[in-house]
Structure 1
Amino acid sequence: MFEKVGWKSEGVTAGYAKQVRDDRLRELRQGGVVTRTQKLTLDQAFEMYCSSHLAATDSERRVRSMYSAVVSPAFGHMYLSQISTRKLQEFVTGLHDVARPATIRHYIGIIKTVYNMMRTWGEYLGPSPVEGVVMPSVDNDRTRFLTQQEAAMLLDELCCRSVDTARIALLSLHTGMRAGEIFALRGENVNMNEGIIHIVDPKSGVSRVAYMSERVRRMMEAIQPVPGQWVFPARHGGQRAEVPDTFERAVADLGLNYGIEDARDKVVFHTLRHTFASWLISEGAAIKAVQELMGHSTIKMTERYAKLAPDKRKDAARLLNMLN
């Protein structure tokens, strides 16, 4: 008797096929019924998910690294039906002293994604233990922004290493666009005649426009975006998923993070977006205008930059002197 367990292209591995075979032999010996969905370990489920959704993507290495380093040792050997909400909560609590809240959320996010995919594919029929797990709050508000000199140094360094990375960095610095918004940019979103970039389906859910600086306009003229194609495609075609490692190496070699321990004060790609807003506020731009350019869903998100605004009270006091 033969049983088809799936195709390799669907993420089915030799290890998983062996597990199914062992289950069926156990059924014959014991006379019971052991369903496939009850006997799928988290490691097996993760491998199916990676093979189907992450293979050859820019994020595969990062996700696999996080999973194998922390998640797999704790739960990889367990069947999906054995992992409970309580065990996951204990896992989260145990990580508080060794990992940042955002990192812990990433670990749980991987587990959640695997369960969701297995349920969608009918490989697991039970509830997801991730539901109900109390996650640590995240304070990721970054306080670091680049000076004009630092920004110029970084862009020059990137130009020497990778033109694509330098262009991506320039676009974020001069428009405030998020990395994901830049990677999702297609030729039809760039209006050279009007000098604007249409940011479609952003993180906030509300589309907006970005205005090209002269430097960005010259860059776009050199790229010549083609409708229907990615403006900044991945190395092997398709949409980019992550900022090139070149950016991190350039930051390190320039010493921009030397001696800085707090991750919120370190220069990362998102610092360019933060710098864009900081420069605007420092030059006296209205908070409301910056909110719209940044695509912030609430004014509160933009108000954290208010401390950088010029002190208008002194200007008001000078007006009184003019009246005397």
Structure 2
Amino acid sequence: VGWESEGVDADQARDVRGEILVNIRTAEGFQSLKEKRDLDNTRKEQARIKKELAKREDVSFGALAQEYLKWAKDAKKSFKDDESNYRNHLAPLLAKKVAREIGILDIERIKKTLSNKKVGTKVKRPLSPATVKHFIVLTRQIFNYAITRKLFIGVNPVSETLKSRKGFIKGTNNKRTRFLSREETQPLLNTIKETSLQTYHICLVSLYTGCRMGEV
């Protein structure tokens, strides 16, 4: 039944023995101490699973995102970008929402909100379609990671949105490949400096060292 140090006394042991004898006579329930222990363990495991499922059902998107970022820190070169994009743009919109309650309408609203969002320190400019697309893709990646790791029970709302809304995140490509002349460089740096001093310093380092954006 158990040890005295575990709080089991003689009366409890006698009661369990009585239950076993009754069960043997009626051919019902556990009929040995081993069967009782197995039954107790099964019930505990069922209770644990039930609690775990309830926890997954009520998990917030923010909790899923944190798990994704923990993984991305060691697995992705773009971790810093993912972390910054989530913290500055997605977290204010999604972090506190229960993940299973996020649906197609929510994803559409998020895209609209991000498309209307203006960023910049001095000169405020709207986020580009390609940047908004990147944020939506990051949201989908977080859901996919959570589903794959069984942290979340449900469907990926971004994937569902893409199925029902063709061209939903068809953004333009921001990527440009071009070499600037010396005459073009300074006006560009001046404009960048007005928008973001940090970006200005990054551009200076890149210009003089040849480092790529992710290497600075």
TM-score, length basis structure 2: 0.52
2:136–2:169 CA contact under 8 A, matched in 1: no
**Partner in structure 2 of residue 244 of structure 1:** 215
**Partner in structure 1 of residue 116 of structure 2:** 97
Secondary structure of the corresponding residue to residue 62 of structure 1: helix
Secondary structure of the corresponding residue to residue 158 of structure 2: coil
**Partner in structure 2 of residue 70 of structure 1:** 89
* Counterpart among 26, 32, 38 of residue 57 in structure 2: 38
Secondary structure of the corresponding residue to residue 130 of structure 1: helix
2:130–2:174 CA contact under 8 A, matched in 1: no
Letter in 1 for 2:132: I
Where in structure 1 are there 5+ consecutive unaligned residues? 1-26, 170-241, 246-324
Offset, 1:97: 2.5
Offset, 1:40: 1.6
**Partner in structure 2 of residue 321 of structure 1:** none
Q: Greater helix percent: which structure?
A: 2
Secondary structure of the corresponding residue to residue 214 of structure 2: coil
Secondary structure of the corresponding residue to residue 157 of structure 2: coil
**Partner in structure 1 of residue 140 of structure 2:** 112
2:143–2:156 CA contact under 8 A, matched in 1: yes
1:43–1:72 CA contact under 8 A, matched in 2: yes
* Residue 59 to residue 150, structure 1, CA distance change in 2 (3 Å): farther
Aligned residues: 139
Pick the structure with greater CA Rg.
2
**More deviation in 59-68 or 110-119?**
59-68
In structure 2, what is the Cα distance between the partners aligned to 1:64 and 1:124? Answer: 20
* 1:154-209: CA deviation from partner (whole Å, max 9, x where unpaired): xxx769954xxx2x67xxxxxxxxxxxxxxxxxxxxxxxxxxxxxxxxxxxxxxxx
1:36–1:123 CA contact under 8 A, matched in 2: no
Instruction: Find out whether 1:127 has 2:155 as its counterpart.
Output: yes
* Residue 161 to residue 44, structure 1, CA distance change in 2 (3 Å): same
* 1:28-71: CA deviation from partner (whole Å, max 9, x where unpaired): 9xx98852321221111111111122249653332222112221
Letter in 2 for 1:47: Q
Equivalent pairs: percent with the same residue?
14
* Residue 103 to residue 126, structure 1, CA distance change in 2 (3 Å): same
Where in structure 2 are there 5+ consecutive unaligned residues? 1-46, 118-126, 187-203
* 1:275-302: CA deviation from partner (whole Å, max 9, x where unpaired): xxxxxxxxxxxxxxxxxxxxxxxxxxxx
**Partner in structure 1 of residue 18 of structure 2:** none
* Residue 159 to residue 44, structure 1, CA distance change in 2 (3 Å): closer
* 1:113-132: CA deviation from partner (whole Å, max 9, x where unpaired): 11101111111121100012
In structure 2, what is the Cα distance between the partners aligned to 1:88 and 1:244? Answer: 32
RMSD (Å), alpha carbons: 3.7
